[in-house]
Amino acid sequence: MDSVSFRMAGSGNWQKLLPDEEARSLYARIYPEGVFLRQVDDHLRDVITSWQKAGIATIVNQRLVPLGPIMTDRDIDILVPWFQDISTCMCQAVSRCLADYRLLAESLCGGIAAPKHKVDNLVTILTCGEALDMWTFTKLRQELLGPHPVRGSAGRFFFWGYAFSNGPKRIFGVTTYGGIKKTRLSVIRSHGLDRGSMPALLRQESVLNYLTGLCLSDEAALRGYQTPHEVKETARSLRRVGLLMPEEPPRLAIPVLSDRDMEKAAHLHNKVSADITSDFATRMGKLQRAISRCSFAECSPRDVLAMMFHLPYSYAADALVLTGAIPEFPQQAGGEWGVWLRLAEE
């Protein structure tokens, strides 16, 4: 494999396990058959130990064997019929609720006079970011996958990789910043989508404190232990990436969904996630037979199933865009697309 795009779902950082290009190249080299330990440079032994502790590799008869699945072009070819079946189910589940999602988005954006681009953006957030990804994956964990695997000091997450040239165009996922804070900011990531400086900005705790303060009108959180000059610089940076409106005083330029708003969306998300989870379980026998022919047949079953959920919903996004159900994914975007903030109420 020339290159692997590693993925995770959960909390933590897979890069702690694959900290540099040498470690990533080694993992790609040992996939899927493994290699004898004597073929691995001694200075990589600490990395290998971290892989063992995290459950993404094991040692069998002096061979280093990977446990994290990697999807290849050959695997895609084997799985095409299953991908078509499950992604069709995903599209149908969303389409059955699409009119209600659009009505809800219009309501949350201010009514029927709301700008179309804002409504379209919120429809994408609700259907792709919330329903297809976060809510359905939560339900799958509850009913099929179990909790996120522990990965040592790297965190708790499912782990897999992509190494194919074919496949869905709009490979996407959601990154959420803020952890257990009262505000959690979520961002849709997508293959080929340039988010500019926004991800680096959102990894700064002072920035998240500022956003929390802005939502809660909390002066202490708004300052976030910054000097007045630093507060102004934070606001200026957030305006540059489109998270704040251009005018003073500072106001968020992204959708803010309160607990009350999410109650309105919950019954739609529950319908979508229940339909998809049921269909996923019904097709499990067919999926397992297909997996037995794939490169990851001997990999961690839970990581395999996590990967087998995330890739089909990207096929579903392709279909939803092609039918006009949701707008096209951009190639470059700041806060104007696929970014929203969840506000927990007291």
pLDDT tens for the chain, 346 residues long, are 678 999 999 999 999 999 999 999 999 999 999 999 999 999 999 999 999 999 999 999 999 999 999 999 999 999 999 999 999 999 999 999 999 999 999 999 999 899 999 999 999 999 999 999 999 999 999 999 999 999 999 999 999 999 999 899 999 999 999 865 678 899 999 988 999 999 999 999 889 888 888 887 766 556 655 778 888 899 999 999 999 999 888 999 999 998 888 898 999 999 999 999 999 999 999 999 999 999 999 999 999 999 999 999 999 999 999 999 999 999 999 999 999 998 876 5
The answer on 57 and 156 residing in a single domain is no
The answer on 171 and 306 residing in a single domain is yes
Q: Tell me if 119 sits within 8 A of 109, measured CB to CB.
A: yes
Last residue of a domain, one of 71, 105, 127: 71
Last residue of a domain, one of 71, 103, 127: 71
Alpha carbon distance 264, 165 (integer Å): 39
The answer on 134 and 25 residing in a single domain is no
Alpha carbon distance 202, 211 (integer Å): 10
pLDDT at 230: 83
Which residues, other chains included, contact 79 with Cβ-Cβ below 8 Å and sequence gap of 6+?
Answer: 290, 294, 308
Domain count, the chain: 2
User: Which two structure tokens, joined as six digits, stand for 114?
Assistant: 């709301």
The answer on 144 and 63 residing in a single domain is no
Q: What is the pTM of this model?
A: 0.93
What count of Cα atoms within 13 Å lies in the side-chain half-sphere of residue 105? Answer: 22
The answer on 260 and 189 residing in a single domain is yes
Q: Tell me if 186 sits within 8 A of 337, measured CB to CB.
A: no
The answer on 96 and 67 residing in a single domain is no
Q: What residue numbers bound the domain in which 22 lies? A: 5-71
The answer on 145 and 162 residing in a single domain is yes
pLDDT at 212: 82
Q: Tell me if 109 sits within 8 A of 118, measured CB to CB.
A: yes
At 59, which helix (H) or strand (E)?
Answer: strand 57-60
